[in-house]
Structure 1
Amino acid sequence: MDKQLSANEQAVMTALKKVIDPELGIDLVNLGLIYGVDVDDDGNCIVTMTLTTMGCPISDVLYAMIKKAVLGTPQIETCKINLVWEPAWTPDKMSRFARIALGVRF
């Protein structure tokens, strides 16, 4: 995510840091699965994200957790998830924290 985030977008990102992948035990932001957050002036939020693999068995669980976190953020009225496969997720997208926690060499 290269763009400057608005206060509402920063609040959504903070909320997403509390969404923990149940299989890996690390939040989605540190895993590098969140590619972008856009919030318009009416509080409509679009979360652009990917998954570690196509056909992820817990995708429905993750979507529900994301929507709950985002809609619990003040000023946010709606949440849509834009699932993308490009660029493809790789362990290089993980933060240093996530790599250390998961024992990934870097």
Structure 2
Amino acid sequence: MEDGFMEKEALTSQVLDALEDVIDPELGIDIVNLGLIYDVDVDDAGNCQINMTLTTPGCPLSDVLDRDIKEHAGAVEGVNQVTVNLVWYPVWTMDKMSRYAKIALGIGGI
């Protein structure tokens, strides 16, 4: 049982690593460091569910990000299907960004 848990954790980590290659076209920073990814869950069958948000509800790039997320997460060995759930709670704020993203965007008060 513990081996399955460890494999699941490793697979989730690999998906998160892959999502760091998904760049927000407007900001030029990956969606993980922007804090847009809220949760990644991969079940035993390789079904990956990703809960994420956007910086604004009317983001015109949501289709592009959805496509790129499915492409990158789906390329991880062991992932068979990717579902992206767009959520609005908790509300995204700049506090969710990593230090790297803040520095890259020149945001003060780090």
Range of TM-score over shorter length: over 0.9
**RMSD of the TM alignment (CA)?**
1.2
Which residue is equivalent to 2:64? 61
Secondary structure class of the residue paired with 1:28: coil
Q: Which has the larger radius of gyration?
A: 2
Please tell me whether residue 28 in structure 1 is matched to residue 31 in structure 2. Answer: yes
**Length-normalised TM-score, structure 2:** 0.91
1:103 aligned to which of 99, 103, 106 = 106
Which residue is equivalent to 1:44? 47
1:74 aligned to which of 65, 74, 77 = 77
Gaps of 5+ in 1: none
Gaps of 5+ in 2: 1-5
Kindly state the Cα deviation for residue 11 of structure 1 after the two structures are TM-superposed: 0.5
Secondary structure class of the residue paired with 2:32: helix
**Length-normalised TM-score, structure 1:** 0.94
Question: What amino acid is the match of 2:91?
Answer: A
What CA deviation, in whole Å up to 9, does each residue of 1:67-100 have, x standing for no partner?
0001101000000011110000000100000000
- 1: CA distance, partners of 2:50 / 2:107: 26
